[in-house]
Structure 1
Amino acid sequence: MSTFALIHGAGVGGGWYWHLVEAELRSLGHTTVAPTLWTGDDMDTLSDYADAVVDTVDTVEELFVVAHSFGGFTAPLVAERLPTAGLIYVTAMVPQSGESPADWWDNTGWSEAVRIQATKDGGLTGNSDPYVGYFHDVPKHLADQVSSNEPSPPSDTAYYEPWPLDAHPTTPTRYIVCTEDRLFPAAFQRQLAHDRLGITPDEITSGHAPALSRPTELAAMLHSFTS
């Protein structure tokens, strides 16, 4: 079977975010790791976050590296360092060489995409209330646990430093669009996957946190990529 290295984004509870998906994948015979990356040290770099993932992987099984949201800036660094069968972005930021996470938002046209979608859904997209913008389809008992599991924010060093790779890894890559996402609108995700990865994405009916709202469906999709 396979090992899945699961990389969390921001505002979803660190490595805890993946716990339901981990249970599903393990029931299918896979191994999983889902470290919480952010330590509160403001000198930590994106490479330090990649090191933290690499240090948890101890297997000769085929490896799939999965990134959620801000984790997209770390996952390719892991795929560059370890033999990797697949790199999978889940409603994630896809970086370009020399681009900082701070610059990604303007470079990708994110704010305009949010504005356009918000005019269609009455302001649900881009809503600052996390229960509306992030967790609208997550069971409340899970959404209520996010804040108690959330680590320190990512470091300013990591957020403002240029992404260090010269190009995206040659690892086979997929992108999963979350069609009901109110942070990264679905049309924006599809365009991002096309422009930056040159691929047609897979899709799942979910908001921005599918590991909490659709863990069984997400795990089944990840499992299908190992076939």
Structure 2
Amino acid sequence: MSAPGTASTRTRPDHNAWGGQLTPRPGHPDQVAVVTQDWGKRGRIEVWDVRRGTRMSRLEGTRLAYASDDLDRLTVFTPDGDRLAARGQDRRVEWWQVDEERSTGHTRPLDDVSSLLGVAGDGNLVAELYGDIALFSPRSGMLLGRVERPSSTLSAWHLNGDTLRLASDHDTLALHLSPACWHATLCSAAPGSFSPTQRAAPRLREARETQPCPSDRAHPVGSRF
């Protein structure tokens, strides 16, 4: 439980037998967030030191979302383990200061989220959207980016810093969650710079304000349409 990053492996229990989830707390060896089926209905999460058998925190908020199995994650920690995100039945994500046992607010409803995957190194919330992988703003819940995942069933994942590794029955996939990495990758695929007409298009305003690709610094970032 002291290994860096956040990981999970899918199990397929009978729904009536699903008893809850344990989420390891980064930076705090032997500590886990505990959610039982009954606690989830009451919005209750407890953080325990399993070696000492001591409860460290008790968090009580809105009712948690329903989880069909262990990969439908309800709670994730930030990389330092100080904060916890919990997915509510109302589809919002509630943030907690764990040691203070204090809620710091909710995001907007994240309607398409099926599971929380973790919190990236830059603080963005990483989630699964019924197959796709998405990044959300931790405060507002605004969608920052979405990546389509291969159609094979996700069986396990591991998030460490800004690298998310996904495993299915057939292969593995590594996604770098840094916007700078995405920018460089898109730039490498661009066949050329914007035309004058493309540069004037209102929908490309954000691209004009972004640092040009390293391979084409004399022109705005872009590709031909």
Give yes or no for TM over 0.5.
no
Higher strand proportion: 2
Greater Rg by CA: 2
TM bucket, shorter chain: under 0.3
When normalised by structure 1's length, the TM-score is: 0.27
Bigger RCO of structures 1 and 2 (CA < 8 A, at least 6 apart): 1
Higher helix proportion: 1
